[in-house]
């Protein structure tokens, strides 16, 4: 493609206006080679920063663009933003290049709480467990010195919808587990240790399902062929089998939480939540995911707008104004 031009003002995707020139680093979330009706090749990119995703269209030198703009990689993009009357907001790409510097916080965002504090809260919560079988299981899977524990502290919780940034899995799983622990003190008949462990481990299969690169925006072969829930079930069960004397009934109850945490068959769970602990974890998981989507929409929406765009994940627009502010007479 052509030579990269001079730097222009860097704008968040949410703030781009019709006619704006763009020259900045964006994250390639997806790429697809297509053809026009006349057979000419072009490339459609999904380009992102922490405030949103925009379609990028490459019409020239498509082969080189394909090699430069790979899913999961940051890329310097030169082009022009427009509001197409039929296809909506899009970026006509004039040049692509490998960036010299990458501001990952601007591209991906991150947890609201510093990662060090999240790790401390995780240690406190795991330290509150007393079950003699669950304690070694959690150390084997989430301990700081374990391979999965180190990956767990850095991984994304999702590709896009919620907590889609480094340490997002830690933030999301910890929130689900803390909410589960609090609810277990209110509602009778819940095994707190079992529910907390299920909450912390419910998404552990994502460590196998995602690409494992710095941005984790793509599903790997295991993610596409096996899926995160079966992977999580397999890894937790395999670890349980290495712990002498682990009660089969406890193993079954814990594995049921992992298998049912999406809540229904059409959302990927092979079974429905059939225990108090499984229902509680599913409920808190959905709450954390939905509120994480609220956070994402807040980043995508211009500061002076009260309402987000319609979000297909939530099935609604959401109200983002600060309700604590006095609206006046």
Please write the tens of the pLDDT for every residue from 207-244. Answer: 999 876 666 567 889 989 999 999 999 999 999 999 99
And the tokens for 43? 């490339």
- Kindly tell me the number of DSSP H helices and DSSP E strands found in the chain: 12, 5
pLDDT tens digits, residue range 58-111? 999 888 888 899 888 899 999 999 998 888 889 999 999 999 898 888 888 889
Domain ranges of the chain: 13-105, 110-293
103: phi then psi, degrees, rounded to nearest 5: -95, 95
In the chain, % helix, strand, coil (3-state, to 5) comes to 40, 20, 40
Asked if 69 and 96 count as a contact pair (C-beta separation under 8 A), the reply is yes
CA-based end-to-end distance of the chain: 57
Query: CA 204, 208, 212, 216 torsion: positive or negative?
Result: negative
Q: Does domain 13-105 have CATH number 2.40.50.140?
A: yes
**Which helix (H) or strand (E) is 48 found in, with range?**
strand 41-49
Distance CA 309, CA 319 (A): 10
Which pTM value belongs to this model? 0.85
β-partners of residue 23 are 78
Tokens of 317: 């627009």
Quick one: how far is CA 40 from the chain centroid?
A: 35
Give the bridge partners for 79, in sequence order. 22, 93
% of the chain residues with pLDDT over 90: 67
Listed as ranges, residues in the chain with pLDDT below 70 are 1-8, 212-217, 323-329
Helix 115-127 to helix 134-142 angle, to the nearest 10 degrees?
Answer: 160
Q: What is the dihedral of CA 162, 166, 171, 173, to 10 degrees?
A: 80
Return the number of other C-beta atoms located less than 10 Å from residue 88's C-beta.
10
DSSP state of 301: S
When the candidates are 2.20.28, 3.40.50, 1.10.287, 1.10.3210, the CATH number that belongs to 110-293 is 1.10.3210
Provide the token pair at 316. 């609604």
Nearest to 119 by CA among 210, 196, 200, 181: 200
Cα 170 to Cα 152: distance, rounded to the nearest angstrom: 6
The answer to whether the Cα torsion of 150, 151, 155, 158 is positive or negative is: negative
């Amino acid at each position: 493609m052509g030579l990269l031009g001079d730097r222009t003002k860097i704008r968040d995707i949410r703030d781009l206006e019709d006619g704006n020139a763009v020259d900045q680093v964006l994250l390639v979330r997806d790429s697809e080679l297509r053809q026009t009706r006349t057979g000419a090749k072009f490339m459609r990119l999904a380009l992102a920063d922490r405030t949103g995703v925009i379609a990028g269209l490459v019409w020239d030198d498509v082969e080189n663009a394909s090699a430069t703009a790979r899913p999961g990689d940051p890329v310097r993009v030169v082009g022009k933003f427009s509001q197409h009357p039929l296809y909506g907001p899009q970026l006509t790409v004039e040049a692509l290049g490998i960036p010299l510097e990458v501001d990952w916080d601007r591209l991906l965002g991150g947890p609201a709480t510093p990662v060090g504090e999240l790790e401390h809260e995780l240690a406190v919560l795991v330290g509150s467990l007393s079950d003699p079988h669950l304690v070694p299981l959690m150390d084997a899977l989430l301990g700081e010195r374990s391979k999965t524990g180190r990956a767990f502290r850095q991984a994304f919780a999702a590709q896009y919808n919620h907590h889609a940034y480094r340490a997002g899995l830690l933030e999301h799983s910890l929130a689900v587990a803390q909410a589960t622990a609090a609810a277990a003190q209110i509602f009778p008949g819940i095994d707190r240790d079992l529910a907390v462990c299920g909450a912390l481990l419910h998404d552990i299969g994502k460590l196998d399902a995602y690409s494992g690169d710095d941005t984790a925006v793509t599903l790997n072969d295991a993610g596409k062929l096996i899926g995160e829930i079966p992977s999580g079930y397999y890894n937790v069960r395999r670890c349980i089998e290495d712990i002498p004397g682990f009660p089969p009934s406890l193993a079954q109850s814990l594995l049921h939480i992992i298998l049912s945490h999406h809540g229904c068959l059409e959302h990927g769970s092979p079974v429905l939540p059939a225990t108090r602990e499984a229902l509680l974890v599913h409920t808190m998981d959905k709450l954390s995911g939905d509120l994480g989507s609220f956070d994402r929409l807040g980043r995508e929406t211009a500061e002076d707008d009260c309402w987000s765009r319609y979000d297909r994940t939530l099935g609604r627009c959401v109200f983002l104004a600060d309700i604590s502010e006095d609206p006046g007479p």
